[in-house]
Amino acid sequence: MTLNLPKPSVVSPTLEDFIQAESNLAGVSKLTPLLSSSYLSEVGGGQVFLKAENMQRTGAYKVRGGYNVLSKLSPAERKKGVVAASAGNHAQGVALASAKLGIKATIFMPIGASLPKVQATRGYGAEVVLVGETFAECLKAAQEFAIKKGAMFIPPFDHIDVVIGQGTVGLEIIEQLPEVDNIVVALGGGGLGAGVAAFVKLYNQANKRKIKVYGVQSEHAAAYPPSLKAGKPVEIQTTPTIADGISVSKPGKVPFELIRKNIDKVVTVSENEIAKAILVLLERSKQVVEPAGAVGVAAILAGKLKLKGKTVVILSGGNMDPLLLQRVVRHGLAAAERYTTISVMLPDRPGQLALTAEVIAKANANVVEVLHTRHGLGLKISEVELNLSVETSGHEHTLEVVKALKAAGLKPRIIEARED
């Protein structure tokens, strides 16, 4: 027996395919808002808007592609049920789409998948099977189950009808902001980027426009740059990244071809840059965005993309475990030098710790942790070393704290920007 995959409805998408997909999604996905960002506009040099797909049903854009492909299944295919493998957003998208169409869905998720995502997937009516320590093990189990049951296996990105469904994000952007000049999108396997880029280029041809589309990847999982250089999908060795939602070792064949033809540029961003972007979105835009959904903002903040005119950045998802959010915020604070460790050598006599804390307080900084050491290399018998974890408002404020400590006759040095 072989793996059953949905038959592609088209070979090469047209504008009409995207318009039909938008019609199919009526009442299933919702029109997410386009939010202006004065802060990002100031940093980026042009007017920046945020397409808030983190506010989409299921918390991500994935329901668009999932529903579009499932809606094209025949009655006989629907009766057999569908199977998917995912650690999060694809799982929820397929689960909701299946519930809307009355199709039995079995979703395989890794044992380590976050509890909120598992609960949400079950909440949409899918049967969840937790298996495998890695996604590869989970995927293998899902495919074996689909073959055994004769059910349809729903790929997360490597299918033209999935791509067309995801591309309705681009259609909505142009409907909401017809004068848009640039669109920035996260790239993992490439479903969203391929759909948006393909639609935009078709729209450009039909309307004599020059809207550009830019892709952004985590530098720890950047399969597209070498693939585009090679002219074919290339498998890479990924390394752990907080942007796990776009951590894909090899582009899908279908999205790769569309991205190769239609996307204007692909850039990568670091872990620190992603963490800073999440922090900015929380503080400035009041948006909770998962790391994979924040890479476009990271590229603008880091100066990787300097775009003129009106730019829309797609916030592709907002499904983040609260514990991960806590860690990422701390990482972002450290990356922005707002959480720093300062070392101060002091004479070992009463009152020195209080003096140091008073100087820091007068500099309007906050001490959150103190490590007091009397023993160590380089310490004299009459000396102690204080390692102080200090919260500041940023790099300049940290330098002011150091200056204040020096003015008080102390000898501070910055050890590191702390992550926790």
Summarize pLDDT for 335-347 with one digit per residue, the tens.
778 888 999 988 8
Q: Three-class SS of residue 130?
A: strand
- Confidence (pLDDT) at 417: 54
What residues act catalytically? 62, 316
Same domain assignment for residues 347 and 279: no
Residue 172 has pLDDT above 90, yes or no: yes
324/24: higher pLDDT: 24
Asked if the structure places residue 1 within a domain, the reply is: no
284 shares a domain with 171: yes
Both ends of the chain: CA-CA distance in Å?
51
Domain count, the chain: 3
Q: What pLDDT band is residue 416 in, cutting at 50, 70 and 90?
A: low
Residue 30 lies in a domain: yes
Segment among 62-71, 238-247, 320-329, 405-414 with least mean pLDDT: 320-329
Q: Do 89 and 78 belong to one domain?
A: yes
| CA atoms within 13 Å, Cβ hemisphere of 228 | 18
Question: Could you give the percent of the chain with pLDDT greater than 90?
Answer: 75
Confidence band (pLDDT; 50, 70, 90) for 419? very low
Which residue has 């950045």 as its token pair?
313
Q: Could you tell me how far CA 241 lies from the centroid of its own chain?
A: 10
pLDDT in tens, 353-373: 889 999 999 999 999 889 888
Q: Give me the sheet containing 182-186, strands edge to edge.
A: 34-37, 47-52, 310-315, 182-186, 212-218, 265-269
Structural domain boundaries, residue 108: 63-153
Residues 283 and 380 in one domain: no
If asked whether residues 241 and 320 sit together in one domain, one would say yes
Is the pTM here over 0.85, yes or no? yes
Q: Please state, in angstroms and rounded to a whole number, the distance separating the CA atoms of residues 363 and 392.
A: 9
Tell me which H or E stretch contains 385. strand 383-391
3-class SS shares of the chain: helix, strand, coil, % to 5? 45, 20, 35
Most confident by average pLDDT, 217-221, 339-343, 375-379:
217-221
8: in domain: no
